[in-house]
Structure 1
């Protein structure tokens, strides 16, 4: 079963979410979260930090990632690990793979004509909202695998 990760990176104030505009399929032209493939022999959290740095330039020193949830797609033989983090400070982001931008959270993230993931991004943001106070307190709220 192939593994992937999705990274929900919030700014320090937790009022913006790092998004990308997909330049290729799947989801070409739609907004998405950053992420990538978990390589063989790599743990989920190692992969998350690696993909984050490769795609955005954000390093492990800039953010603490927390394992939020997983999605397992049996008929597609893959799973997705979702990680969330709040930046410790302002950083400039840059990536070659997709166009990166900071999105305000007052958007309809369930709108599948604008956002990738069949509504998953909206669902994930709602889940983060349930633990937002813990993320804002900067405590390590979740135990990493």
Structure 2
């Protein structure tokens, strides 16, 4: 079963979310979270930090990732690990895989005409809000 990760990176003030505009299929042209493949033999958390650095330039020194949830897609023979973190400091993001941008949090992330993932992004954001996982970084 192939593993993937998706990374919910919040700005230091928790008012914006790092998103990307997909340049290729699936979901070409839609906004998505950053993430990627978990390589064979690689732990999920190691893959999350690797993908984050590769796609955005954000390092483990910039953010603490928290494993929030997983999705298993039996018919597609894959699973997705979901991580969330709040930046410790303002960071300049840069990547060449997709166009990166900071999104305000008032949008309807369930809108499948704008966001990838059949509503999953909206669901993940609600779970992070309910869990108060980002408050853990402030203790």
Shorter-chain TM range is over 0.9
Q: Per-residue deviation at 1:131?
A: 2.3
Aligned twin of 2:12: 12
Count residues in correspondence: 139
Q: Root-mean-square deviation (CA), in Å? A: 1.1
Query: Structure 1 unaligned runs (5+)?
Result: 141-145
Aligned twin of 1:138: 137
Q: Tell me the alpha carbon deviations over residues 41-81 of structure 1, each in whole angstroms, 9 at most, x when there is no partner.
A: 10000000000000000000000000000000000000000
Alignment partners' CA distance in 2, 1:30 and 1:18: 14
Alignment partners' CA distance in 2, 1:88 and 1:29: 30
Q: Per-residue deviation at 1:137?
A: 4.4
Contact 1:111 1:119 in 2 (8 A): yes
Aligned twin of 1:66: 66
4+ aligned runs moved over 6 Å, structure 1: none
Query: Structure 2 unaligned runs (5+)?
Result: none
Alignment partners' CA distance in 1, 2:138 and 2:51: 23
Q: Tell me the alpha carbon deviations over residues 87-132 of structure 1, each in whole angstroms, 9 at most, x when there is no partner.
A: 0000000000000000000000000000000000000000011123
Aligned twin of 1:109: 109
User: TM-score of the superposition, structure 2-length normalised?
Assistant: 0.97
